[in-house]
Amino acid sequence: MSDFDYDLFVIGGGSGGVRAARVAAQGGAKVALAEESRYGGTCVIRGCVPKKLMVFASEYPGAIENARAYGWGAEAGDFDWPAFRTKLHGELDRLEQVYRNLLSASGVETFDSRASLADPHTVELSSGARKTARHILVATGGRPVKPALPGAEHGLVSDDIFHLESLPKSILIVGGGYIACEFACILNGLGVEVTQYYRGAQILRGFDEEARGLISEEMIRNGIKLHLGTNILEMAPAGSDHGSQSPAGAGSATMGTPAGEATTLPRSAAERGSTGGPLRVKATNGTEATFDKVFFATGRAPNTADMGLEAAGVTLGRHGQIVVDDYSQTSVPSIYAIGDVTDRVNLTPVAIREGMAFVETVFNANPTPVDHALIPTAVFTQPEMGTIGLSEEEARDREPVEIYCTSFRPMQTAFAGRPDRVLMKLVVSVETRKVLGCHIVAPGAGEMIQLAGVAVKMGATKEDFDRTVAVHPTMSEEIVTMREPTRTA
């Protein structure tokens, strides 16, 4: 008989935690899982899934414009946000129930409760109950942060967007990462007047320079007012004096935080602090403007606060992330962590892979390190970007490379008289001829990069691409028809 209540206790009901719990239980382990909020986690409830559905909704104005150019008598009416939101929430409820059913069918015992660590083998639930486990897996994910600046408590974060009672007429989005840019495109497509401030020289830092440059140009052409090298100095409800004290309690989340540092808020704080009225914003470029809403997409932080991790001996990094080794094991042998709470590669499919590797290592006697190399990913801007491997800038710092690149107007929108452009790009090692990076900016780039990613992950060479017959007429055929390098670097 085991000395523990469970072989595995998982804290967190997101994609990674649920997958690990299910697979371990299906293999015969006695497993429990605790989730304080909704099953499915960030991706299903307040991230990838609702965001992608909003992407689909926001693309219809362009599709209708194309339809008219192709001879259809199509007209766009007003977007019915309440109807869409109701159907969206219904779909999320359905998916959450799917997650609950999967756990139940696998024999996982679930607790709708916040969980923290009492010691390396004991989990304490918010109900006061204590459960012991041979192994504990922390998969609590992350949450949005707001910057520490005057008035930030009145702004929204990504979690709030899906619950708006109505769409604002105007919005300021602060940030330049993929969340900021995706929502800028989504809301612009839904008819909101979008302004975006980013303090850097170009959006989508870390992605290929040429690819992100094209996305920036297309966003501006589509009507987004993008201001680079710009940030907020302060903000307040319109009509109030800048610099005045916030209402009692409203600004408590940012009190005492050094200027410029991000502040992690409780999940409900954005809703408690955000104002319903217009906001007056003072920017670093000297301008002042009023917006119906201000949305901060300025980063995320791991959910590790008040969990008893450090008291149990778990080492945390400088940003609050759980430090783990190649097998997702923490500094405490019985405690593991996967997903965004470790701040490695914060993508849902990666968390799922980490969960599978954990089960192989701990329950199947097959030590499996997590493979974070050559992960294909997509940014659902308009146009989309799909990418895998090294950017041109990263590659040329490592070795001599050849760049194969083309940018053109795709057939569908060119026929409609629209100026949209797409980009196809390969980064190739001069020495090995391997394709080190593939970058696509085009409608459907996410779908394309999934397939191109197989070839790049397998180590395909430029000549392997060249030997592949083109599918004509398609945008993606350009990936296999670029014969001469655009440049060397």
Counting residues of the chain whose pLDDT is more than 90, the rounded percentage is 91
Q: Which of 298, 340, 304, 338 is nearest to 320 (CA)?
A: 304
Domain 144-298 falls in which CATH fold?
A: FAD/NAD(P)-binding domain (3.50.50)
Integer CA distances (angstroms), 420 to 60, 135, 220, 243, 382, in order: 16, 53, 12, 43, 10
The reported pLDDT for the residue numbered 239 is: 81
Give pTM, 2 decimals.
0.92
**CATH classification code of 6-141+303-363:** 3.50.50.60
| pLDDT score of 265 more than 70 | no
**Interstrand relation of 279-283 and 170-174 (parallel, antiparallel or unpaired):** unpaired
Across the chain, mean pLDDT equals: 93
Assess whether the region 6-141+303-363 and the region 144-298 belong to the same CATH fold.
yes
Residue 40 dihedral angles phi and psi, to the nearest 5°: 115, -25
Going from N- to C-terminal start, the domains of the chain cover: 6-141+303-363, 144-298, 377-488
Please compute the mean of the pLDDT values over residues 333-347 and round it to a whole number: 98
Q: Which of 27, 98, 331 is nearest to 8 (CA)?
A: 27
| pLDDT score of 487 more than 90 | yes
3-state secondary structure of 171: strand
| pLDDT score of 48 more than 50 | yes
Span 60-115, pLDDT tens digits:
999 999 999 999 999 988 999 999 999 999 999 999 999 999 999 999 999 999 99
Residue 69 dihedral angles phi and psi, to the nearest 5°: -65, -25
Query: Which residues lie below 8 Å from residue 111, measured CB to CB, with a gap of 6+?
Result: 32, 33, 34, 35, 125, 127
Residue 470 dihedral angles phi and psi, to the nearest 5°: -70, 145
* Cβ–Cβ under 8 Å, residues 86 and 163: no
| pLDDT score of 260 more than 60 | no
* Residue numbers annotated as active site: 472
> Buried b / exposed e across 232-251, counting CB within 10 Å, b at 16+?
bbebbbeeeeeeeebeeebb
Domain 377-488 falls in which CATH fold?
A: Enolase-like; domain 1 (3.30.390)
The reported pLDDT for the residue numbered 57 is: 98
* Cβ–Cβ under 8 Å, residues 283 and 230: yes
Span 420-474, pLDDT tens digits:
999 999 999 999 999 999 999 999 999 999 999 999 999 999 999 999 999 999 9
| Alpha carbon distance 269, 263 (integer Å) | 11
Please compute the mean of the pLDDT values over residues 146-153 and round it to a whole number: 95
| Alpha carbon distance 234, 369 (integer Å) | 45
| Alpha carbon distance 214, 425 (integer Å) | 12
